[in-house]
Structure 1
Amino acid sequence: MGYRLSKLYTRTGDAGDTGLANGQRIRKDHPRVEAMGDVDELNSQLGLLLCQMDSDRLAPLKQALSPIQHRLFDLGGELAIPGHDLIEAADVTALEQLIDQFNAELEPLKNFILPGGSVLVAQAHLTRSVCRRAERHYLTLAMEEEVNNQSAIYLNRLSDLLFVAARTIALLEGTAEVLWAAKPKPEA
């Protein structure tokens, strides 16, 4: 296979538009490009999370999350080639199985959880929040153009999995979760 990128700059986007993989040119602020950027950022945040998961006790979670980077690259490909669907219902089911598997080891939630407790837990929550933004922008695109509904569902489930991953990391690290505390009511 030859090189995909022989020249990194082309100057073709200097006027504010970009090319999709099918040759179509669209504005860089188009909802499709917003969604592509968010999925790319999500993949980068997930990569950062995975790079920090270097302890043996986190290995099963890291192994479960690692293939998701490839599916996010596929989702980016879908966005770059309109009508080319790669994410399938089986991909959503795989996320649901991971959610169920890891959530079964966690205590039931009794309060809201804040991002924190450790850098790794906070990174998992940051990745989750970027995933939520990617989902919102994907749905914005879906209001304008036909997209793969399975990809929207995938992003929704992935944010749930990342929430469970953050809690699982806290459990495996022995880090206390940061619980939300309501603002004290003023004394009368």
Structure 2
Amino acid sequence: GLLRDQEIEAHYKTVLETIQNNLFTVGAILATDPEKAVLKIGKERLDIERLEPSDVTLLEEEIDTMNEALPPMTHFVLPGGHQTVSFCHITRCVCRRAERLATALHDISPIDSLVLIYLNRLSDYFFVLARKLTLDLRANEVAWIPKKKS
């Protein structure tokens, strides 16, 4: 919501709202005990749409579209340059953390692999969105220049 509330193109806001809806679905899936997912009457406890491969495809298509407008990456990028871009990088980091936690959960209690794929592609989406917003907002993309060993 914080990123969607920024002054960004309407298209990005629409995609972000779709992502938020999908993340609520992911949350419901992860919060439901697999052993209690089906009620005694045979009906699924979660009466909601599941993630679909098309949800991942949307992210991949958005990534491809944004990448077409971006210069090739020649270096790692330091987050920042504009507050909106910084929010995007924070969002990406939270997604990566969620992906790692979901992967750890999967090792204990298997979860839908589409959830793991979605979270992985989502953090990639936010990285590319941050780069695209840097361009759109005419902010500076700051290269990470590692210190050389002495």
TM-score by length of structure 2 reads: 0.85
Distance 2:25 2:104 in 1: 19
Count, aligned residues = 137
Is contact 1:82–1:147 with CA below 8 Å preserved after alignment?
Answer: no
Q: Which runs of 5+ in 1 are unaligned?
A: 1-46
1:168 aligns with 2:124: no
Q: Who is 1:97 aligned against? A: 61
- Matches for 1:65-76 after TM superposition, within 5 Å: 65-76=16-27
Identity %: 44
Paired residue type of 2:127: F
- Point out 4+ residue stretches in structure 1 off by more than 6 angstroms: none
Q: Who is 1:49 aligned against? A: 3
- Matches for 1:120-139 after TM superposition, within 5 Å: 120-139=84-103
Distance 1:67 1:99 in 2: 15
1:79 aligns with 2:33: no
| Higher deviation after alignment, 94-103 or 83-92 | 83-92
Distance 2:137 2:17 in 1: 19
Q: CA offset at residue 185 of structure 1?
A: 4.8
Distance 1:115 1:105 in 2: 19
TM-score by length of structure 1 reads: 0.69
Q: Who is 1:113 aligned against? A: 77
Is contact 1:99–1:161 with CA below 8 Å preserved after alignment?
Answer: yes
